[in-house]
Structure 1
Amino acid sequence: MTSRVALVGAGRMGTPLCGRLVSAGHTVTVCDLRPEREPPVRALGAQWSPSVVNAAAGADVLVTVVPGPDEVSAALPDAVFAALAPGAVWIDMTSNAPAVARDLRQRAAAHGVDVLEAPMGGSPDDAEHGRLRLFVGGPADVLDRCRPLLEAVTTADRIRHMGGPGAGYTTKLLINLLWFGQATATAEALLLGRRAGIDLTALHGTLADSAAGSDFIRRDLPALFAGDYLRSYGLDRIHDQLKVVNEEAEHLGTPHELADTVARIHRRALDRFGPVDGELLAVALLEEAAGTLLRP
């Protein structure tokens, strides 16, 4: 079945998602605060509305793909939920904060709107080619209803139902914590190895094949060696997400010393470089401190 979809957010991820939804036969109306996003959206075959409420009017599905919790909250006054069709579903694909989402979920429910969270793992290229991973939280029956739409943007095996409300957001945050933690730990190890006189290429290959091997070492480290700090996501957003991880750990009473260290390193990187794109700029900070670049 095809749906009338209101898509909020036409950025690096929202635009390719829009294209896939249109290609699957859904009627898509897009809203974004930036009017310059209208031409590329219309070129994909979607409609455009400068108003979120107007975009949501009569829609079966509301999809939000915005930078973070503050943008989700700002984009969704109660009037948006009230404008949706009876029995509509809100799918939030933002890397949201569980505490922020709880309030929005309650407001949506007050208007009879079901809620599914599906934060994404992957790049804009993955979004364009249907390779995203979706970490879903929410009722299983709502996910079953939404599977045909979600399978327009990725394959069935990449849709992971993690549990009830909050489980999807938390899973994405934990993945980010571990990835950025691996990046900083690997950088420290490589800087030490290089200072000790070990060839970086040899060390890279050995680590990749060892018990310490990881997807970061095998897949992402070559980009760093080439001088690419993966400028596809904002350092300020990274810091905010790591901060939310620590807040959740504090709230739930679990240890978070390492998580706090990873967040503090990224806070220093943010102070040093500013809110610019670069997923590996914390590594650049460590390189500066060591006085050397990680280049074979």
Structure 2
Amino acid sequence: MHPVSKWPDGGGLSGAPEGRVRRNDCHGGDSVPSRVALVGAGRMGTPLCGRLVSAGHAVAVADLRSEREEAVRSLGADWAPSVTKAAVGADVLVTVVPGPDEAAAALPDAVFAALAPGAVWIDMTSNAPTAARALRERAGAHGVDVLEAPMGGGPDDAENGRLRLYVGGPADVLDRCRPLLEALTTPDRIRHMGGPGSGYTTKLLINLLWFGQATATAEALLLGRRAGIDLATLRDTLADSAAGSDFIRRDLTALFAGDYLRSYGLDRIHDQLTVITGEARDLGTPHEMADTVVRIHRLALERFGPVDGELLAVALLEEAAGTLLRP
């Protein structure tokens, strides 16, 4: 059973031991539990909630889906009827929502105003740098420090502390927040990428390269198969060559088994790819390859709709070739 602490509104929350003075991990000092407002109890937010509670933090969770309440309470966290209620007196606000629109909708000024003095907002959403800028400015107007920490990995990585965090923001704020972030993953998986916007951009660049590798690899395999090369032999040879990649060594196993990785929405993928190509246009860098990746995923979205499937663009290429990538 988790010890119970009291928040300013009197609601009981699992977290720090009774009788201990609270200090925010994000404000330095010893690792004393923080009061955390967590926004988003989905596939990623729920396991992150469990890790925060297990580390001794008092966590209040808000999510539009009331059916998530039971799962949240079973982890030892409190359920809040709104994001603003969750934020009251919190030292740290953590957002884990699907994208920029959801982040903007969840964070009116009242949320930042409700936080404790000197609080920190950590956005773990795969957000867009431009969209997040306005939120960051509004948070700053209320004296709230901001870190972005979009995640690399899936729900299993979140549950087992294997996420990669691509952090953007002031180095001193990251230093103050390391104890809390290290409840979510190991220190070597927390990468400080630079100032505001750099964390979001890094995550989007990783996505661009991964989805580009997926489509390029699928084209190569389809061509190799049509030329009469055994798929398993070709996969093993590519993996051990100068063209080898983590996608070939790790993710092709799922594809060869008919698994299109239905853990993320095709519409979200297309949106993120569009954001990073837009950033390339704004910054004046070449983006011909990126545009091709976006176009293929747009065609996949038109073909399959906004369903889950990180490799559905590969399914589109299989359809065009009239064959499946199965050994």
TM range (shorter): over 0.9
1:137-286 correspondence to structure 2 within 5 Å: 137-286=168-317
Three-state SS of the structure 2 residue aligned to 1:5 is: strand
Work out the CA distance in 1 between the residues paired with 2:81 and 2:285. Answer: 43
Asked if residue 132 in structure 1 is aligned to residue 159 in structure 2, the reply is: no
1:271 to partner: Cα distance: 0.6
Structure 2 SS opposite 1:17: helix
| Pairing 1:119–2:124 present | no
CA shift, 1:265, in A, is 0.3
Q: Write 1 or 2 for the structure with the bigger share of helix.
A: 1
Q: Distance in 2 between matches of 1:287 and 1:206?
A: 21
Provide, for residues 181-209 of structure 1, a one-character-per-residue CA deviation record: whole Å limited to 9, x for no partner.
Answer: 00000000000000000000110000000
Matches within 5 A, 1:13-28: 13-28=44-59
Q: Could you say what secondary structure the match of 1:112 adopts? A: coil
Displacement of 1:50 in angstroms is 1.7
Equivalent of 2:67, from 36, 48, 56? 36
SS, match of residue 136 in structure 1:
strand
Identify unmatched segments of 5+ residues in structure 1.
Answer: none
User: Counterpart of 2:307 in 1: which secondary structure?
Assistant: coil
Write the deviation string for residues 115-164 of structure 1: whole angstroms up to 9, x where unpaired. 00000000100000000000000000000110000000000000000000
RMSD: 0.4
**CA distance in 2: counterparts of 1:21 and 1:6, whole angstroms:** 11
SS in 2 for 1:7: strand
In structure 1, how many angstroms separate the alpha carbons of the residues matched to 2:102 and 2:285?
28
Q: After TM superposition, where is structure 1 displaced by more than 4 Å over at least 4 residues in a row?
A: none
Give a deviation string over 1:238-270, Cα, whole Å, max 9, x none.
000000011100111111010011011000000
SS, match of residue 211 in structure 1: coil
Correspondence for 2:132 among 75, 93, 101 = 101
Q: Name the larger-Rg structure.
A: 2
TM-score, normalised with respect to structure 1: 1.00
TM-score by length of structure 2 reads 0.90
Structure 1 residue 75 and structure 2 residue 94: aligned? no
Deviations 1:43-63 (A, max 9, x none): 000000121101000000000
CA distance in 2, matches of 1:115, 1:2: 19
Q: Which runs of 5+ in 2 are unaligned?
A: 1-31
Count residues with an aligned counterpart: 296
Q: Encode CA deviations 1:50-84: one digit per residue, 9 max, x unaligned.
A: 21101000000000000000000000000000000
In structure 2, what is the Cα distance between the partners aligned to 1:141 and 1:119?
Answer: 18
> Aligned equivalents of 2:307 and 2:33: distance in 1?
38
Identical residues among aligned pairs (%): 86
